[in-house]
Amino acid sequence: MYSGEFAEPRLLHSKGFIQLCIDKSATDNTGSFLSVGTDGDVWIWTGDELDEAEYYAKNIKGRTHSAIAWHGNNIYIGHTSTDNQTGIQKSTVSRFEKDSLRMIAPITTFSLDLSSIDISKSGKFLAAGSIDHVLKIINLETGDVIRSEADGQIMCVSFNSKDEYLAVTATDGMLRVFDITLPKGELPEPVTIRICSRIVDIEPSNSKLQLCWDPFGDNLFVPAFGCVKRFDKHSFEEITKFFIGSNSYDMFSVCCVSSCGTYLASSTMNGLICVWQIDTGDLLTCSKYQINGQPKVICTMFWHRSLRNTLFFADTEEHICSLNKCTRKVTSNECNSTDLDLQCVRNKAAVKFYDDENSQNLDSIKKSYGFDEEGHFRGIFDESEENSHIFTTAEPSTSCKPVVVPKAFVTGSTPEHRKQRYLDNILKKWNQYGTIISSYNGDDGRIEINWHDTSIHPEIIIDNTANFSIGDMNDEIVALASKVGEESLSEMQVQCVKAWDYGSRQWSVKLPEGESVENIVIGRTFLVLATSQRYFRTFSYAGTQKMVFCYSGPLFTMCAFNDMFTAVMLNGGAYYESNEPQFNFVANIYKMKTEDWHKCQSLVQTVPISVGRNARLNWIGYTSRGTLCTMDSKCIFCCYCFFYHICAITN
C-alpha cells in the first residue's frame, strides 16, 4: 500500500489529549489553526507548511481541558475558572476574543472537565459535553440552554453544516443524533445507534470516537471497530463501511473529511492513517505514524485548507505532525503493506532480472523496482515502466494480538486511573456502612472516612502520605492498603474504631518484598488480603495472621458477608460471539472460621457468574440477609438464591 510523506514532528503543549481546530465559519483563508492541551495555553498557528509554521502562545490563566471551537473572531474554550472571592473552581465554557485571547464572557458551567466543544457554521448554536455525562446545547442568540444526559462520558460533539443535526458519541459506545431544528426549548429523543462496545474511560489508550460530517452536511462518518461507518442524514441508516482490508481488526479513533468533500481520513489506535475516496470507497493510502520506531496514538486530525492534500494531526505524546501526498490512488501492482518500515520488502517476491544497461548502475536498479537511493520503498509511479510487471508480493501475514485478561477491580469503588487525569475526589469504597474517599490537590492527598450512621464514629480524616489506594470498612474496623512502590513495601493499616484500649485501635503490617496488596475485604470476624503472589492472607481484627492459602488466578474481585468470603476468578480462556472477547468467571465461596488455628477456611461452593452477552461484571456483593448478587455492565442485576440458582431480577 502506498504511504504518504510525513513531516518532521514538532513538540507542543504537554502530554495527554490535544485538540486542533480550524475556523468553523470558513471565513479564514490563511490556513491558520488553533491548538490547546491541558497546560492553560492556546497556540495560534500560521497556515504554512509545518516546518515553517509559526505559533503565538496565549495563556488564559487557568487549566484548559483540551476542548476548543473557533468561529470568526470568537474562540470557545473549556477551562477551569476560579472565583476570586470564594476560591471555588468550576469547569467552564467561555468566549474569548481571538487576537488578544481576552475572555469576553462565560457561557455555561459543568461539574467536571469538558471533553468536547463544537459550534455550528452559522455561529448560532454551541454544544459542549463533559465527563460528567452531561451535554448542553446553547442558543447563543437567545441564551437558551438545553440539557441532556447520556449513559456515558461525552466523547465528541459535532454539528452538520446546515444547522440541522448535532451528532454525539459517548463512552457507552452509542451514537446519538439530535434534531435541533425544532422550536425554542424543544429537544426530541435522539436517534440512537450502537457504534462499539462500552469504553471504560476517556484516556489515551481508548478510542476517542471523534466523528465528522461532510462539508455539505448530508453524510456522517463515525470511526468504529475495523472500519469507518457512513450514515445518511435522512434515515441515519448505515450506507457504507470504509475498510482497510477484510482481515482488519484495528479500532478507529479519529476521522475527518476534506473541505472539498472528496477524501475521508481516519486514524487507528496503533497510529495507522488511512485515506479513502468517498464516492468510490477506494482506499488510497495507508501511512504508519511512528517516532523512533514506536507507533503513537493520534488524538486529533484535520485537512489543511490551504495546503493541497495535507493532513495535520497531533498525538498524545505532545507532538504535532503533518502528512502530505496522501491521496494518491493505489494500483494493483503496488505493495500491499501498511507499515512505513515496509514489511513487503521481507515478503518473497518473484523477481526476474534482465541483463541490460541498468544493471551497471545500482541507483537505476533501485529506482526501477520502486526504491529510492536510501533503500526505502516508494512505489512504482509509472505503470508503463519496463519492469513494473515483474514486482509481485505475497499476501501480508495477519498478526495475532494476544487476548488481555480483564483488569481486576475493587467492588464499590471508582477506577484508580482517574486520579491521573483530573485530580478529583476518588471513591475508594462505598458499602452499606459508609464511604472511603481519597482527595487529591497537587502532590498532597488525604483520605476521608465517613459512616452512614454517624453514631458509630465521627468522620476520620488522615493524610495519605503512604499512598493508600485500596480500602474496605464496616461498623468495627477500617482497612487501608498501599501497593508496592519503587522504594516502599506494600502496607496495610487497620483502625479498630470500637477498641477500648487506645493502643489496640491501630495496627499495620507490611508484606514481604515483591508482594503487593491487590484487594481487601472485611467480614464479621476476619479480614482477607489478596496479594500479587496469588495468596489470600487472613487476619483477625486484632492483627493476628490466621491463615495463608493460595488461589488459582487471575483474581477479578472479592466481597464478604458475616463469615462468608467470596472471590471471583477467571475460568478458562476467552471465547467470541462477536468482535470482542468474552470470559467466564466463577465465584469461590469460602466459610471462614477465625476462632481456631486450624481449618480456618473451607470452600463451600463454586458458582458460575452470569453476565449478559458482550457485558462484563461491574459489581458483586451480598444483601443484608446474605444473598449473593451481581450486576453487569448492561445493568442486569442477578440474585444467586435457592442453592445458587441464578435469577435475573431487573434490567
| Ordered DSSP codes for 382-426 | -TT-TTGGG---PPPPPPPPPPPPPPP--TTS--GGGHHHH---E
CATH superfamily of 5-330: YVTN repeat-like/Quinoprotein amine dehydrogenase (2.130.10.10)
The pLDDT of residue 441: 63
The Cα–Cα gap between 23 and 16 comes to: 23
More confident residue, 556 or 442: 556
Residues ≥6 apart with Cβ < 8 Å to 336 = 1, 344, 393, 395, 396
End-to-end CA distance of the chain: 47
Q: What's the pLDDT band for 341 if we cut at 50, 70, 90?
A: very low
Q: Of the candidates 113, 97, 31, which has an alpha carbon nearest to the alpha carbon of residue 65? A: 113
The pLDDT of residue 340: 35
Instruction: With beta carbons less than 8 A apart as the criterion, state whether 14 and 39 touch.
Output: yes
Does pLDDT of 101 surpass 80? yes
Residue with cell 518500515: 341
DSSP letter, residue 198: P
Does pLDDT of 89 surpass 50? yes
Whether the predicted model's global pTM rises above the 0.85 cut = no
The pLDDT of residue 383: 42
The pLDDT of residue 395: 44
Residue with cell 501497593: 483
Does pLDDT of 602 surpass 60? yes
Q: What's the pLDDT band for 650 if we cut at 50, 70, 90?
A: low
Establish whether domains 5-330 and 416-650 are of one fold: no
Checking DSSP bridges between strand 272-277 and strand 263-268, what pairing results, if any? antiparallel
Does pLDDT of 444 surpass 80? no
The Cα–Cα gap between 551 and 106 comes to: 55
The pLDDT of residue 633: 84
Q: Of the candidates 101, 138, 100, which has an alpha carbon nearest to the alpha carbon of residue 119? A: 138
Q: Which helix (H) or strand (E) holds 363?
A: helix 362-368
Q: Of the candidates 242, 229, 293, 296, which has an alpha carbon nearest to the alpha carbon of residue 269? A: 296
Residue 226: helix, strand or coil by DSSP?
Answer: coil
Length, in residues, of the chain: 651
Q: In what order do the strands lie in the sheet with 628-632?
A: 617-622, 628-632, 637-641, 645-650
Q: What's the pLDDT band for 337 if we cut at 50, 70, 90?
A: very low
CATH assignment of 416-650?
2.40.128.630
Does pLDDT of 427 surpass 80? no
Instruction: With beta carbons less than 8 A apart as the criterion, state whether 107 and 83 touch.
Output: no
Report CA torsion sign: 106, 108, 109, 114: negative
Q: Of the candidates 581, 551, 580, which has an alpha carbon nearest to the alpha carbon of residue 568? A: 551
Residues ≥6 apart with Cβ < 8 Å to 518 = 408, 470, 530, 531, 532, 555
The Cα–Cα gap between 434 and 473 comes to: 7
Instruction: With beta carbons less than 8 A apart as the criterion, state whether 271 and 288 touch.
Output: yes
DSSP letter, residue 485: -
- Least confident piece of the model among 270-279, 314-323, 549-558: 549-558
Q: What's the pLDDT band for 336 if we cut at 50, 70, 90?
A: very low
The pLDDT of residue 423: 34
The pLDDT of residue 438: 85
The Cα–Cα gap between 243 and 311 comes to: 19
The percent of residues above 70 in pLDDT, for the chain, comes to: 82
* Residue 603: CA count within 13 A, CB half-sphere: 10
The domain segmentation of the chain, as residue ranges, is 5-330, 345-401, 416-650
Concatenated DSSP letters of 52-81: T--EEEEE-SS-EEEEEEEETTEEEEEEEE
Hey, which of 58-62, 187-191, 272-276, 453-457 has the most confident mean pLDDT? 272-276
Tens digits of residue pLDDT in 381-415:
444 444 433 333 344 444 566 777 888 888 888 76
Instruction: With beta carbons less than 8 A apart as the criterion, state whether 602 and 591 touch.
Output: yes
Angle formed at CA 229 by CA 226 and CA 230, multiple of 5 degrees: 160
Q: What's the pLDDT band for 419 if we cut at 50, 70, 90?
A: very low
Residue 345: helix, strand or coil by DSSP?
Answer: helix
Does pLDDT of 354 surpass 60? no
The Cα–Cα gap between 345 and 368 comes to: 15
Tens digits of residue pLDDT in 151-202:
999 999 999 999 999 999 999 999 999 999 876 667 788 999 999 989 988 9
Q: What's the pLDDT band for 421 if we cut at 50, 70, 90?
A: very low
The Cα–Cα gap between 426 and 420 comes to: 11
The pLDDT of residue 372: 59
The pLDDT of residue 229: 95
The percent of residues above 90 in pLDDT, for the chain, comes to: 51
Instruction: With beta carbons less than 8 A apart as the criterion, state whether 208 and 299 touch.
Output: yes
For the chain, give the mean pLDDT. 83
Q: Is the peptide bond before 581 cis (omega within 30 degrees of 0)?
A: no
Q: Of the candidates 492, 495, 536, which has an alpha carbon nearest to the alpha carbon of residue 510? A: 492
The Cα–Cα gap between 109 and 257 comes to: 31
Q: What's the pLDDT band for 363 if we cut at 50, 70, 90?
A: low
Quick count: other Cβ atoms within 10 Å of Cβ 184?
A: 8
